[in-house]
Amino acid sequence: MDNEHKTDEQIVKQVLLGGIESFKIIVERYQKKIFGIGMRFFKNRDDSYDFVQEVFIRAYESLRSYAGRAPFRFWLTKIAYNHGINRVGSKRTEPEVPEETPAGDTTPETGHVRGEIREVLVEAINGLPDRYRICVDLYFFMGLTYGEISEITGYPVNTIKSNVLRAKTMLRDELKGTIAEDYHEL
């Protein structure tokens, strides 16, 4: 079986046995995902490219600590997430609220309204306690499952579900009376 068809875990074993050139397959498989995580933290391409390099260097240097209890992609995502949190420090990142443009609804007025809604949502999300904001960010904006979030954050799945539910309730309350009150994702 060639390296392209091997599992991540098989490639990790190969790298640990001295086949360090195989690590480039891991990089090729996950560089877009890690870049996406970097963009969520830094909002610019240059910092995100640096972030990708730093994450893969950390992953390579820590490869012996990968125990295989969870899929490799979760382990790598956790390294990326933790590195992003550490690099950003206490500086908050603004979640990117997805733009949804209904067919034929592209007037300047609707674009302006969407922009205002996005601003209000970002402000409300940034006002959440960190434990809730992290779960909301990973669940809604990164599209991770509760199990994946658990692997990354170390929170139990039920805690994550509870945090997401509480965050949604807090956001609904915070958005009452604003232009974003009827945002459909909440």
56 vs 88, residue with greater confidence? 56
**How far is it, in rounded angstroms, from Cα 43 to Cα 47?**
8
Average pLDDT taken over every residue of the chain: 81
Q: Are 133 and 167 in contact (CB under 8 A)?
A: yes
Which amino acid is residue 178, in one-letter code?
T
pLDDT at 15 over 70: yes
- pTM, rounded to two decimals: 0.60
pLDDT at 161 over 80: yes
pLDDT digits (tens, 9 = 90+) for 103-114: 445 577 766 667
pLDDT of residue 60: 95
- Tokens 């891991």 map to which residue? 26
For the ranges 32-46, 63-77, 155-169, the one whose mean pLDDT is highest:
155-169
Q: Are 97 and 120 in contact (CB under 8 A)?
A: no
pLDDT digits (tens, 9 = 90+) for 32-46: 989 988 887 787 899
Residue 155 three-state SS: coil
pLDDT at 184 over 70: no
Q: Are 43 and 84 in contact (CB under 8 A)?
A: no
pLDDT of residue 145: 86
Q: Confidence class of residue 102 from pLDDT cuts 50, 70 and 90?
A: very low
Q: At what angle do helices 157-175 and 108-126 cross, to 10 degrees?
A: 130
Q: Which two three-digit tokens encode residue 118?
A: 């996005």
Spell out the domains of the chain, with CATH numbers in brackets: 3-88 (1.10.1740.10), 108-175 (1.10.10.10)
**Cα-to-chain-centroid distance, residue 155:** 15
pLDDT of residue 101: 45
Q: Are 134 and 153 in contact (CB under 8 A)?
A: yes
